[in-house]
A and B are shown apart, each in its own frame.
Chain A
């Protein structure tokens, strides 16, 4: 049976307490997208600046929501800042695939060992290090919270599409 410690890992609570990259960016040049979770009223606003080389030179997060949506947004912002659009897209894919790992594959006594194996998610045969983001893996065991965790990532994906379309 999953416990609260699976959900509220220390790193997650730390990002909730002290969110990284909170704020707004001037639009334009920044791209701004909003995401909603109609079930619980969580709202995320993602701002990104993309430079000529296709790097996410800056990112800011606005909106409000539960600890999981806020922490996930904060961790995401830290993970993609300074990365290229294509890297960020791969990270989104990796994160979402971590969120879709079936709960059963995480259960059992040795779930922690399993959990660490998923720190590296393979995309196109290449490992992508999720690093701290792996701390959000426990969310999978609380299916109603998965939407909270993926909200900011879906919103970022939209922002990247817009940024790529504009440039």
Chain B
């Protein structure tokens, strides 16, 4: 079983040459390209249903509201939330994590409380907690990462002892490591801590079931999932969301406002102040339809196959030059390959690859604490999605030849 051929044809941008060459897009962990279906759904919304939501009594406004709430229901189904009211739309994962820290964290944590993170977190799951720590005097504890890029869980019980929250990435955006989230959630709960999951890299690539994960909160971002930029999701268990104070104040989130004060409306709208991103929600729903059509099991199988192929081809061709970070077993990782290429600096690797139309990311991937653990200031990263194929991997391997030539010293 595999993905249907011709997927690339659904992505208009992939048909446009770059620098006069075929575009080989290997930066989907950064942001994904968008299929025609998503682009069309968004323009169709603007052409047929645009109005402000939850406000108008006319038919058009009703349809716009249905579009927004229909998308919410679709997201809920996609991650197996128990109700659409558990889906809060945000700008992206970063805003979702900040909402969690500001609202839940602010209300529930005080001096001496501990939040447990891991060394492989994206800055989006670090900085909001640093900010809270500065304000509230909470303690941050860190699950270490071993040389193969896996969490070291030997000391987990000690780290969780007395902790209030464990907040962990489900899949590393640098190493591709897939973390045992369900196991971690069970451990957190045993210690009376909540479990938050940064699923920014997970939801786009693996079937996600928040209930079987046993998580309390989960965040992801639409643009890595074939959807538009400008929409993300915070999922939380309803009873927790209901207890949480609002995040931002304004229209949409209130029940009543007087000169003396205000009362908030129900979840999820309590957390969605102001006019929401309706077209983006529609685009996200279209992206979910597209992925559902392919089947998330197929998506995962395709990426595992492609990752094994890439690891094999690259190490066979550059046995002495390439060093791939992260688990050596493709089944333990997603379609993300961070690598060192001899002594060629990642910036130069990316520059030379660009000349061949191959787009990879170079840098610290917003994970500076992890780069310090890996002992490198930066790495080059190739990442795959549904539209990538063996020819893209071959193009990467070929283009690296030029880097080897130019910097052979």
Contacts and interface: CB of A to CB of B under 8 A. Distances in A.
Given A1-B19, A8-B406, A67-B345, A40 B351 contact: no
B375 to A, nearest CB: 12
Contacts of A97: none
Contacts of B19: 1
Interface string A16-50: 01000000000000000000000111110000000
A80 interface: no
A145 B350 CA distance: 11
B355 interface: yes
Interface residues of B, number: 20
Nearest to B20: A1
B409 interface: yes
B270 interface: no
Given A39-B363, A41-B363, A41-B371, A64 B351 contact: no
A4 B355 contact: yes
B407 interface: yes
Interface in B349-386: 351-352, 355, 362-364, 368, 371, 377-378
Contacts of A65: 345, 347, 377
Interface in B20-64: 20
A79 B307 CA distance: 47
Taking each of A4, A13, A42, which has the highest tally of chain B beta carbons within 10 Å of its own beta carbon? A4
Given A40-B362, A40-B378, A41-B363, A4 B352 contact: yes
Contacts of B377: 41-43, 64-65
A66 interface: yes
B390 interface: no
Interface string B328-349: 0000000000000000011110
B347 A68 contact: yes
Contacts of B364: 40-41
Interface in A134-149: 142, 145, 148
A40 B347 contact: yes
A148 B347 contact: yes
A43 B364 CA distance: 13
Interface in B393-409: 402, 406-407, 409
B24 to A, nearest CB: 17
Interface string B215-252: 00000000000000000000000000000000000000
Contacts of A145: 347, 351
Contacts of A76: none
Given A66-B348, A68-B347, A40 B363 contact: yes
Q: Chain A interface: which size bin? A: 20 to 34
Given A39-B363, A67-B407, A142 B351 contact: yes
A19 to B, nearest CB: 12
A3 interface: yes
A65 B371 CA distance: 14
Interface string A39-81: 1111100000000000000000000111110000000000000
Nearest to A39: B363
A160 interface: no
A167 B50 CA distance: 66
A13 B352 CA distance: 14
Given A40-B362, A67-B345, A3 B355 contact: yes
Contact of A41 (B352, B378, B406): B378
Contacts of B345: 65-67
A3 B362 CA distance: 19
A67 B363 contact: no
A140 to B, nearest CB: 14
A106 interface: no
Nearest to B402: A4
Contacts of B406: 4, 8, 13
Contacts of A43: 377
Contacts of A66: 345-348
B350 to A, nearest CB: 9
A1 B20 CA distance: 9
A64 B406 CA distance: 19
A41 B378 CA distance: 6
Contacts of B20: 1
A111 to B, nearest CB: 17
20 contacts: A1-B20, A4-B402, A13-B406, A17-B409, A39-B363, A40-B362, A40-B364, A40-B378, A41-B363, A41-B364, A42-B347, A65-B345, A65-B377, A66-B345, A66-B346, A66-B347, A67-B348, A68-B348, A145-B351, A148-B347
Interface of B: 19-20, 345-348, 351-352, 355, 362-364, 368, 371, 377-378, 402, 406-407, 409
Given A41-B378, A65-B347, 12 more contacts: A1-B19, A4-B402, A4-B406, A7-B351, A8-B406, A13-B407, A42-B347, A65-B345, A65-B377, A142-B351, A145-B347, A148-B347
The 5 A-B residue pairs whose C-beta atoms are closest, nearest first, are A66-B347, A66-B345, A41-B377, A41-B378, A41-B364
